[in-house]
Amino acid sequence: MNMIKTGLIGSLALVLAAGCSNTAKPGASPDKQADSGGVTEISYLANSIWEKPIKKVIDEFEKENPNIKVNLQLSPTTKLTETIEIKLASKAQDLDVVSVDVPLTMGYSLKGYLEPLDNLLGAEAKSKWVPSTVDAGSYNGQLMSAPMNTSSVVLFYNKDLLQQAGVPLPSEQIKDRMTWEALVETAKKLSKDTNGDNQNDIFGFSFDQVGKAYQLLALGQSKNAKVLSDNGLTAKGYTNSPEMVSAFQFYSDMFNKYKVSPKIKREEALDYFISGKVAMFLASTQNLPRIKDAKMNFGIAPHPYFEGGKVATPTGSWHIGISKYSTKKEAAAKFVKYLTLGKGSQIWFEENGALPATLELLDHIDKDAKYNEFPNTIMKLASSEARQTAALRPKTPGYLEWENNVNKAFEDIKNGTDPKKALDDAATLIDSQLRKYQSVVK
């Protein structure tokens, strides 16, 4: 998640507004305005890392819909959210289809950026996705962003390192899911100082998204923590609740007391695992291709939970919406439906490899014998987690403010700050920054 650089928005929005193209011609009705030759062109701004798979989706869509052309615009991950915010804040009519990082759905909806999708996609659409994705993409009872896919997290482990340490391999079966308490004890046995400098250079465990809310919130949620108030405007008593403090004391201990986890940056985490510096690695299923390419002898197991708590697994991914300011909403809706529910959803799954959000594709994973063979079994495990244990990030119009502060707290905790102090400080800052939304949230 990238923070919106608010200082840029004010100045750049004016420039973008002045330079908008594809505005409606006087007297032309929305959705009936076509370009030359009777072809309607819609513009879609997407993540540049999706270039190859999304182009395949667009190619097939245009074959089936020769009267619609999709103008694909690409932006790097670090700039995508900022660019979309600037475009929509300026009411640009040259952006029809909008990439939505799903926790931003509420904020975009309150700002009037998104067109409700219920009528455009049909009343039956919401019944075809995993319920957690519908919940995440809805505001005030209306679907505002449709899921391109969802996500889940599993425990990868290096079989060679576990076998060398005489540690039993974790089970892939959900009924045998490890507790966090058991995982730490195993991680202690796997952490080693191999060069005699009194510092571990092989670590028992690492998170993939070190210091990031997407993955770490599951710790608090497993202890039944409620991260924000129901209206998404109050952090005190929630972000710093006793349950959250307890969960992140555990997180701190992994780095500072037990020293089973390396104090690394998120960008280093996967390399640590595939190079043999980490024995157990909690990561999303989309890490599988690089792990396979590394020719590792690896296994997978379900996401851990706290003894006496509930199973909570990270979820959520990119959704797609239609700009409120688009003059071509019907054509845009055809593309959104094709990508999220139609043939495009299957192409996107096959080409991109992300966990599908449609129940039809998840059912296919459950029934296809291909997914009974390792390592394809990872998708079957993730499919079950997405249906049964997925825990959403909080809904708030100030998600970026909330995330920025909790991510800083998580980094500070990793580096030795007292968890209660870090979370108390974060809650205070979050509440001060969310105050501006009080008048707009119903």
Would the pLDDT of 20 be above 90?
no
Give the tokens for residue 353. 């490899």
pLDDT over 70, % of the chain: 91
pLDDT given for residue 2 in this prediction? 40
- pLDDT tens profile 380-407: 999 999 999 999 999 999 999 999 999 9
pLDDT given for residue 36 in this prediction? 53
Can you tell me the distance from the alpha carbon of 181 to that of 187, in angstroms, rounded to the nearest whole number?
10
- pLDDT tens profile 213-261: 999 999 999 999 999 999 999 999 999 999 999 999 999 999 999 999 9
Would the pLDDT of 33 be above 90?
no
Residue 173, number of CB atoms within 10 A of its CB: 10
CATH assignment of 153-315+394-437, among 3.90.230.10, 3.40.605.10, 3.40.190.10, 2.40.50.140: 3.40.190.10
The mean per-residue pLDDT over the stretch 353-360 comes to: 96
pLDDT given for residue 250 in this prediction? 98
Can you tell me the distance from the alpha carbon of 314 to that of 238, in angstroms, rounded to the nearest whole number?
18
User: Sheet containing 146-147: which strands, arranged edge to edge?
Assistant: 68-75, 40-47, 97-101, 318-322, 146-147
Identify the residue with better confidence: 196 or 110.
110
**Domain spans of the chain, in order of start:** 15-148+318-353, 153-315+394-437
Local confidence band at 199 (pLDDT 50, 70, 90 cut-offs): confident
Q: Which residues contact 194 (CB under 8 A, 6 or more apart)?
A: 201, 202
Give the tokens for residue 277. 């510096």
Give the tokens for residue 334. 């055809």
pLDDT given for residue 3 in this prediction? 36
pLDDT over 90, % of the chain: 88
Q: Are 309 and 180 in contact (CB under 8 A)?
A: no
Find out if CATH 3.40.190.10 is the number for domain 15-148+318-353: yes
Residue 10, number of CB atoms within 10 A of its CB: 10
Q: Which residues contact 298 (CB under 8 A, 6 or more apart)?
A: 156, 157, 158, 159, 291, 375
What's the burial of 192, exposed, middle or buried (CB within 10 Å: 0-12/13-18/19+)? middle
Local confidence band at 37 (pLDDT 50, 70, 90 cut-offs): low
Local confidence band at 14 (pLDDT 50, 70, 90 cut-offs): very low
pLDDT given for residue 12 in this prediction? 34
The single residue listed with the structure tokens 């909330």 is 402
What's the burial of 424, exposed, middle or buried (CB within 10 Å: 0-12/13-18/19+)? middle
Can you tell me the distance from the alpha carbon of 311 to that of 196, in angstroms, rounded to the nearest whole number?
39
The mean per-residue pLDDT over the stretch 100-124 comes to: 96
Taking the model in full, what pTM does it have?
A: 0.89
For the ranges 24-28, 125-129, 279-283, the lowest mean pLDDT is seen at 24-28
Local confidence band at 123 (pLDDT 50, 70, 90 cut-offs): confident
Local confidence band at 11 (pLDDT 50, 70, 90 cut-offs): very low
pLDDT given for residue 90 in this prediction? 95
